[in-house]
Structure 1
Amino acid sequence: MIAELGQFALILAFVVALFQSVAIFAGLRTGDAVVHGFARTGAIAQFVLVLAAFACLTALFAMSDFTALVVAENSHTDKPFLYKLTGVWGNHEGSMLLWVLILTAYTAALAWSAKPVEARLISLTFAVQSLITAAFTAFLLFTSNPFARLWPGPENGQDLNPLLQDPGLASHPPMLYAGYVGFSITFSFALAALIDGRVDARWARIVRPWALAAWTFLTIGIALGASWAYYELGWGGWWAWDPVENASLMPWLAGTAFIHSLRVMEKRDTLKAWSILLALLTFALSMAGTFLVRSGVLTSVHAFAVDPERGVFILAILIALIGGSLLIYGLRAGLLKPTGVFSAISRESTLLINNLVLVVACGLVFFGTFYPLFITTVSDETVTIGAPFYNNTFNPFIGALLVLVPISGLLAWKRGRLMPVLKDLAPAAIAALAGGLAAFWIADRGLLAGALGTALAIWIALGVLIDLAKRFKLFQIEFKASLARAARLPLGIWGMAVAHFGVAVVVFAITGVSAWKQETSAFLMPGQHLDIRQLTLTLDDVEQIEGPNYVAERGYLTARRDQQVVSNLTAERRLYPVRGMATTESAIHARLTGDIYVTIGQPNPDRGWPVFVYIYPFAIWLWIGSGILGLGGLLSISDRGRRALAVRKQPREAQARPEPAE
């Protein structure tokens, strides 16, 4: 009965979304003012109905109802309750239902927060959002029904993929989807503006908080996924340029460019057509990532779908939504005339360079991700594009871009002067050079990348601090007055500074983890040890244990330096009998200076257990830096002054021709 209720709620959500979209477009054409109120009500109704369907699916997993096909294929009676719940989205059908739930949640949030200004623009945005919701609920109902029944139900299920039975799964997919799907709102706003024929600085102020929210969620989601890979996959890798990883990176890069272009629109009322195009492309890349994971063209721990019919359906949605939006863009973009101007030396120019480099970098990732798939599709050849390609193409582009970050922050809007900015940044340049040389001398003289990464991180971090010091007039006026200026600084400025400082921390961490890591391995019997970087690791004991739905060999190790205990470590090798899969549970001793990372493998009767030891310098700063990045996004979203300005500044056209009330 619960499955049937969920199915019915999903059908109703599809009907409401489709009817709402058609009704809004028809009502706006005839000028019916009732449409605006219906748009808000329909958006909330969609969210309530999809939430009810999701609650029904969650109940089926919680009760281990194996008459539901998706539960039988992805759960087990003995599975811990937490993983029964996270198993709701640890499969294709459930993850797509979560996708639609977040989509309707954004639409409901817009209905709740939208002010009675620009009623036509908001209603058009609801219409586009509802069209997207209708498309994806149709996808669920016709090709990926999460409430399909299995009669008779088996006595037990097939269990969830052991790699997904991890606490990180409770937060990583929802956060990632909140980022992916969040860009649907900016997509809908862009398409609504094209249809309405009006894009201006005020539109940018309305849209920017939604873009920032999606970008922040996506940033945190990517970081959570990287941390999951780091400790769960057993080899310490946090990023492998896997196509599914790239699927999340591409909209992040495009979204970063979009946020910066919106800032230029706010200040100079220019880059209109470019900003609209970025809004469309960012969500297009999110959709492309959905196609990549759900179409069955990839085999990955992230990829659930194997039915080509699903891939064809998603491809049809992708072509219809993105192709249709680009067609409208082609027809209407010529009407978006910029009014603002700026000189070649200005903050606008550096932000434009920022956009161009990010788009090129995104294009490189797109090529590296889809080209091998294209070659495999049209021929019998297999092409692999791995880390060397990205290291030689993507990294130099991004590195050059990051050099501009402090310069851009100090340049004036519209018309700036470069020499005073470079003079202000001279201390940062000197410190960066000194830090790079020190890293080259102390860490590893054969690794230029480590020196360059260190110098770049110092350059960005000190550049951000110098920018803030100038805004506070630090050391130019009394310290108390500087504190007062800091307190009055808009949250948007704080958000920018914090996010850029987070970039510096992440760059420094990536440099340490990539350039200076060390690893070794050996077969050990209990009581034996191995040495790595002034550390001695001893395998103290190995015991057999039994978990709720697995059996494991648990190894106890002690790390010592100069006979002093540094850490006691516990690593496991688990076997999940139902799936017949083995996993590695790493032991990590996290320190600010670096992680000690240990795993054990399948034993050899004569030689003992293979013990793998890695030293990852500054690895913990990856997660700290990502958190700082996310905090920067949250601070920018909280900038009430900019949002209030968007509401107060009504265009003269709207004053002359009042819109119908919502």
Structure 2
Amino acid sequence: MLPELGHFALILALAMALLQAVVPLVGAATRRPLWMAFAQPMTWGQFAFLVIAYLCLTASFALDDFSVAYVANNSNSLLPWYYKLSAVWGSHEGSVLLWGLILGGWSFAVSLFSRRLPRDMLARVLAVMGWISSGFLLFILLTSNPFERVLPNVPSDGSDLNPLLQDFGLIVHPPMLYMGYVGFSVVFAFAMAALLGGRLDAAWTRWARPWTNIAWAFLTVGIALGSWWAYYELGWGGWWFWDPVENASLLPWLAGTALIHSLAVTEKRGTFKNWTVLLAIFTFSLSLLGTFLVRSGVLTSVHAFANDPSRGTFILGLLGLTVGLSLAIFAWRAPRVQSLAGFGWLSRDSLLLVNNILLVVMTVTVLLGTVYPLLLDALNLGKISVGPPYFNALFVPLTALLCLFMGLGPLARWKRMPGRELARRLALSAVLAIVIAAGLPLLYGGSFSLGVTLGLLLALWLMLSLARDVFDKTRPAHAGKAGRRGRLANLRKLTPAYWGMVLGHLGLAVTIVGVAMVSHYNVERNVRLAPGDSVDVAGYRFAMTDFRERQGPNYVADTATLEVTRPGRGGFVMQPEKRFYTASGMPMTDVALRPGLFRDLYVALGEELDNGDWSLRIQLKPFVRWLWLGALMMAAGGLLAVLDRRYRRVARRDAALRRAETPAAELNDDRVSPEISR
């Protein structure tokens, strides 16, 4: 009964999404307040029915209802309860349902927290999101129904969840990633609403900026969690492989980063208006492209779900329709938009423009390396492999250029700035960065390393330029005690949006330090050990003291016990495992980690050799945690910027101005029409 209830709830959600898409849009075009007011209740109703559908599928997993095909293929009676809950999105049908649920949640949030928007603007925004929801709900019902039954031949037990997904990282990684993917639909909807309303002023950017920051922060956390999961779960010890599905999440992140900065310029200076709208279109389009790559079957990856060509065709059609219609609307409205503000070649405006261009070039670089091999294969022109050498050769120099201009940006003024003044403010930062970056490899590794020096130079350049900017912004007018009090007063005046920018840029610097250090100082050895044997790696002694079989809830594990010691320091125990999942018959490596802020010890158990020996991969990975620490700092910076009260004050002011400019007869929905009153 529950699957049928969930299926019916999906049908009702689709009906409400279609009403949400059509009625408010027509109402805004014909200036009918009651029709525009239709958007909010339909949004709430759609979200409510999506929640019901999702809960029905979750209950089917919790109750081991193997008459549902999706449950039978992705669960097992021995599966721990928390993995049963995450198995809801562990494969294609459930992950798309989660996608639709999160989209409904974003629409619900917009309807609640954007009620101060002008009525016509809010109606158009929710209508655009209704169209997106309609497309994905049709996709679920026509090609990816998670509630299909396997009657009358119901299996006695399920096939089990993929062992790769039976991990905490895969409980939290997909929801975070989808929150970012789907969140960019909000800024896309705002851009389309501004185009349809014919008012591409700075107001829509002020309304859209908080939503964009939140979506970008979620996507940042999602990418970091995916990297962390691949690092400790797959057993190879790497943190990024330039896998096409990994690239699918990186593409909207790069475009979204450019969009955040472009929105800031449009709001502050009234420039880049058309460019900002284009970035909003392309960022969400790249989110849809990522959905296509993961769920179309064109890729073979541990992250990819579907292998049904009809599903890929549907998503590709939805992507083409979204991009085509949005670009057509843009071509219709954009020529009427003019930016009257100008700026000099050396200004914060121009530096942000350069950074935007670099981010777009980086996006195109990754996009070509990801899609070009697929196009050749689809056209039967041969198979080629584009791997890390291509991406590293192009992406790393572009990142270095990006960091160079990022260090200049915060210290530059809007409109124009004398070159001498900027050079004077940056001279000390540049000298300190060069000296420290050249000296640290000598102190840490005992020899000079060009790669580490360049990485540290970029990170220090970002950090020191930010420190100089904070110093200048808090400089008091007087010296002495009064001056110190003035500095503290000025420090308190800095807004959350400013501190969010500082934290985000610092996070990138921390990530660069992690990349540089772990790439050049990583120690890796493949060893052969049996109980009673020991080996020295990177100053640590690893002694295998025991080897036994352990019974897990749904697997059997071979577990090695290693006592790890270091001269002059205490020891500890590490227990890597090789697991065999009984239901699926799949083996898995469960690595042993000894984490630390400045280094990780990483041990992966390999295959059994002759004479009872086992192969092990032992790695020392310095500063690897800084990769994910920097990503979390960037995400925290994005969320911190949202807390700025200025956005709420500006939203109220903009709404009041728009109401004052609009005739009361058009937007006053408190009046009842004569037909209804009779």
Does 2:452 match 1:450? yes
CA drift at 1:615: 1.0
Does 2:497 match 1:499? no
SS class of match (2:156) = coil
Aligned equivalents of 1:403 and 1:333: distance in 2? Answer: 32
Q: After superposition, where does 1:343-362 map in structure 2 within 5 Å?
A: 343-362=344-363
Any conservation in 1 of the 2:442–2:448 contact (CA below 8 Å)? no
Aligned equivalents of 1:260 and 1:61: distance in 2? Answer: 43
After superposing the two structures, state which structure 1 stretch, 583-592 or 133-142, moved more: 583-592
CA drift at 1:655: 2.2
SS class of match (2:527) = strand
Which of 650, 661, 667 is the equivalent residue of 1:660? 667
Match of 1:191 in 2: 192
SS class of match (2:610) = coil
SS class of match (2:38) = helix
Aligned equivalents of 2:656 and 2:603: distance in 1? Answer: 62
CA drift at 1:526: 1.1
After superposing the two structures, state which structure 1 stretch, 46-55 or 616-625, moved more: 616-625
Q: Partner amino acid for 1:499? A: G
Match of 1:62 in 2: 62
SS class of match (1:379) = coil
Any conservation in 2 of the 1:492–1:635 contact (CA below 8 Å)? yes
After superposing the two structures, state which structure 1 stretch, 588-597 or 240-249, moved more: 588-597
Any conservation in 1 of the 2:476–2:490 contact (CA below 8 Å)? no
Q: Partner amino acid for 1:358? A: L
CA drift at 1:527: 1.8
CA drift at 1:78: 0.1
After superposing the two structures, state which structure 1 stretch, 27-36 or 124-133, moved more: 27-36
Match of 1:467 in 2: 469
Aligned equivalents of 2:476 and 2:595: distance in 1? Answer: 36
Aligned equivalents of 1:194 and 1:305: distance in 2? Answer: 35
Aligned equivalents of 1:252 and 1:339: distance in 2? Answer: 30
Aligned equivalents of 2:639 and 2:26: distance in 1? Answer: 37
Q: After superposition, where does 1:496-575 map in structure 2 within 5 Å?
A: 496-562=501-567, 564-575=569-580
Aligned equivalents of 1:513 and 1:371: distance in 2? Answer: 30
CA drift at 1:569: 1.0
Q: Partner amino acid for 1:263? A: A
1:493-549 CA-to-partner distances (Å, cap 9, x unmatched) read 010011111111111011111122110011101121222222221122111001011
SS class of match (2:607) = coil
Question: Unpaired segments of 5 or more residues in structure 2?
Answer: 670-678
Aligned equivalents of 2:535 and 2:341: distance in 1? Answer: 66
Aligned equivalents of 1:262 and 1:26: distance in 2? Answer: 28
Aligned equivalents of 1:475 and 1:468: distance in 2? Answer: 15
Which of 473, 484, 499 is the equivalent residue of 2:489? 484
Match of 2:117 in 1: 117
Q: After superposition, where does 1:412-431 map in structure 2 within 5 Å?
A: 412-431=413-432
Q: Percent identity?
A: 43
Q: CA 1:638 to 1:652, structure 2 compared with 1: closer, same or farther past 3 Å? A: closer
Aligned equivalents of 1:269 and 1:444: distance in 2? Answer: 52
SS class of match (1:431) = helix
1:56-75 CA-to-partner distances (Å, cap 9, x unmatched) read 11100111100111000000
Which of 636, 642, 653 is the equivalent residue of 1:637? 642
Aligned equivalents of 2:217 and 2:478: distance in 1? Answer: 35
Which of 591, 598, 615 is the equivalent residue of 1:610? 615
Match of 2:630 in 1: 625
SS class of match (2:542) = strand
Q: After superposition, where does 1:105-184 map in structure 2 within 5 Å?
A: 105-151=105-151, 152-184=153-185
Any conservation in 1 of the 2:24–2:37 contact (CA below 8 Å)? no
Aligned equivalents of 1:650 and 1:415: distance in 2? Answer: 32
CA drift at 1:444: 7.0
Match of 1:52 in 2: 52
CA drift at 1:642: 2.6
Match of 2:233 in 1: 232
Q: CA 1:561 to 1:394, structure 2 compared with 1: closer, same or farther past 3 Å? A: same
After superposing the two structures, state which structure 1 stretch, 82-91 or 615-624, moved more: 615-624
What TM-score, normalized to structure 1? Answer: 0.97
Q: Partner amino acid for 1:258? A: L
Q: CA 1:653 to 1:234, structure 2 compared with 1: closer, same or farther past 3 Å? A: closer
CA drift at 1:387: 0.8
Q: Partner amino acid for 1:490? A: T
Q: Partner amino acid for 2:523? A: Q
Q: Partner amino acid for 1:5? A: L
Any conservation in 1 of the 2:591–2:602 contact (CA below 8 Å)? yes
CA drift at 1:563: 6.0
Does 2:212 match 1:208? no
Aligned equivalents of 1:102 and 1:393: distance in 2? Answer: 35
Aligned equivalents of 1:153 and 1:298: distance in 2? Answer: 31
Match of 2:585 in 1: 580
Match of 2:439 in 1: 438
Q: CA 1:267 to 1:428, structure 2 compared with 1: closer, same or farther past 3 Å? A: same
Q: Partner amino acid for 1:660? A: L
Match of 1:23 in 2: 23
Any conservation in 2 of the 1:79–1:549 contact (CA below 8 Å)? yes
What TM-score, normalized to structure 2? Answer: 0.95
Give the count of matched residue pairs: 662
Q: CA 1:472 to 1:566, structure 2 compared with 1: closer, same or farther past 3 Å? A: farther
Match of 2:33 in 1: 33
Does 2:602 match 1:597? yes
Aligned equivalents of 2:160 and 2:612: distance in 1? Answer: 34
Q: Partner amino acid for 2:593? A: I
CA drift at 1:449: 1.5
Q: Partner amino acid for 2:631? A: S
Q: CA 1:106 to 1:39, structure 2 compared with 1: closer, same or farther past 3 Å? A: same
Aligned equivalents of 1:286 and 1:417: distance in 2? Answer: 40
Aligned equivalents of 1:131 and 1:653: distance in 2? Answer: 26
Any conservation in 1 of the 2:543–2:564 contact (CA below 8 Å)? yes
Aligned equivalents of 2:440 and 2:406: distance in 1? Answer: 22
Aligned equivalents of 1:22 and 1:203: distance in 2? Answer: 22
Match of 1:267 in 2: 268
Aligned equivalents of 2:553 and 2:661: distance in 1? Answer: 69
Q: CA 1:31 to 1:650, structure 2 compared with 1: closer, same or farther past 3 Å? A: closer
SS class of match (1:649) = helix
Any conservation in 2 of the 1:411–1:417 contact (CA below 8 Å)? no
SS class of match (1:79) = coil
CA drift at 1:606: 2.1
Aligned equivalents of 1:650 and 1:3: distance in 2? Answer: 44
Q: CA 1:435 to 1:527, structure 2 compared with 1: closer, same or farther past 3 Å? A: farther
Q: Partner amino acid for 2:597? A: L
Q: Which runs of 4+ in 1 moved over 6 A?
A: none
Q: CA 1:444 to 1:238, structure 2 compared with 1: closer, same or farther past 3 Å? A: farther
CA drift at 1:620: 1.4
SS class of match (1:601) = strand
Any conservation in 2 of the 1:116–1:661 contact (CA below 8 Å)? no
Q: Partner amino acid for 1:327? A: A
Any conservation in 2 of the 1:407–1:422 contact (CA below 8 Å)? no
Any conservation in 2 of the 1:558–1:565 contact (CA below 8 Å)? no
Question: Unpaired segments of 5 or more residues in structure 1?
Answer: none
Match of 1:76 in 2: 76
Aligned equivalents of 1:519 and 1:116: distance in 2? Answer: 57
Aligned equivalents of 2:345 and 2:16: distance in 1? Answer: 50
